[in-house]
A and B are shown apart, each in its own frame.
Chain A
Amino acid sequence: MSRFFLLLSLSPLVGCVNSRTQWVEVTVTTELIAPEGLSAPVYGEWNHTWSGEGELRVPLLPFEDFAAEGPGLVTTTLLVPLDGVEGLTLYAWMDLDGDGLHCAPGVTDEPAGLGEALPFPATEADVTLSLDAPCLGAEALWDGG
């Protein structure tokens, strides 16, 4: 009987890992294109293009902040999960008045843009973002993927 108890106690030890997740470290080169003559800090967020499954599948789930000193090339390194999410999309806007808010009341001209980083998943990706849509949110710029 004691042998039975020994086997009983050892059997669950097979498979001691609680969870195993896969990630990719992506170096993204972002080209921020602003309307001619405009230069100001750019803020935004990195999104999973799609996340969830079935009826809970949703687009544009933010997971990391984005910041740049202005238009031009920006290199960012991101750690992105591969389980349950697809794609990598950047939403950004230009802070013309320097208040840290996108289109606060009375402000109607801060341009925004949305772009998908490709290829994904990969350790290197590129995205070109045209900041040409004043005061639009990510959902308004989303074309359905």
Chain B
Amino acid sequence: MSPLSLLLVFAVSAPALAERPPPNPDPRPMGPPDPHLDALAGASDLGDWAVSLEAGFPFFGARGQVALPWAGLNAVGSVNSALFTDTWALGGVSKRWVDTHRVVLSGEILVGGTIRSGDLSRRGPASQTTLRLARGHGRVVPALTLSSRHVLLTDVQEIQTAEGDVVQRSRSIAWSPVASFDVGVGVCPGFAVSAGLDVPWFDPPGFSLPGAHINLIVGGWK
């Protein structure tokens, strides 16, 4: 049985674990937060936070978010690695742009850095722009994530000449988009799991293998 099927069976067979009050469509339901919705939607309500731990192929990582008291923003920190050879550490802000009873759409801008080891090693400051679309608000939350990653690569050439040493710098930008589809399931208040598929595209136009992952999600509120 696949992990996704296991999650769905669990969600159907344990309805009493997370009985929730009737949804309040304007603007968010009352009661405890949905950590899986918050994590998959990319932003929490004021006073809420969510942390997710991801394991799979090729990605492993951790992501945390906490609502800030300004303009509906969330502070976000993320560490993500593809097979522990292509690691990204990013921090930034996210915000829910659309938040209805049925749909949550959020945007996210992160900056930080990346280090890749091996024959295709590279490092540099990086950014990630992400759109997250989640179907809320319920025990089962499907979500689509589209990310665009950029790395600024600075290459330095130190040249010995007869007139003295010369240093030349060249800069380029590497782009790596990633798409993910997740299904999150609330297990109990403050705890959820999700499973998903990843379609990374490392260094286009080269082809990259798709992947899959599972997430453990915890969340809290003030």
User: Taking beta carbons and an 8 Å cutoff, which residues of A are in contact with B?
Assistant: 1-2, 4-6, 8-13, 15-25, 27, 79, 121, 123-124
Contact = CB atoms under 8 A, between A and B. Distances in A.
Contacts of A24: 159-161
Contacts of B218: none
Contact of B158 (A4, A18, A23): A23
A12 B89 contact: yes
Contacts of A121: 160
B66 interface: yes
B130 to A, nearest CB: 15
Contacts, number: 94
Contacts of B159: 22-25, 79
Contacts of B152: 16
B215 interface: no
B216 interface: no
A9 to B, nearest CB: 3
Given A13-B113, A15-B123, A25-B162, A5 B156 contact: no
From DSSP, what is the main secondary structure of chain A's interface residues? mixed
A22 B156 CA distance: 9
A27 B161 CA distance: 9
Interface stretch (B71-79, B139-147, B179-187, B199-207): B71-79
Given A5-B75, A8-B89, A21 B157 contact: yes
Across the A-B interface, the 8 shortest Cβ-Cβ residue pairs: A9-B91, A12-B113, A5-B77, A18-B153, A123-B162, A25-B161, A24-B160, A9-B112
A124 B162 contact: yes
Interface string B97-131: 00000000000001111110000001111100000
Contacts of B49: 1
Nearest to A7: B91
Contacts of A12: 89, 112-115, 123, 125-126
A17 B122 CA distance: 9
A20 B64 contact: no
Contacts of B76: 5
A124 B153 CA distance: 32
Contacts of B161: 24-25, 123
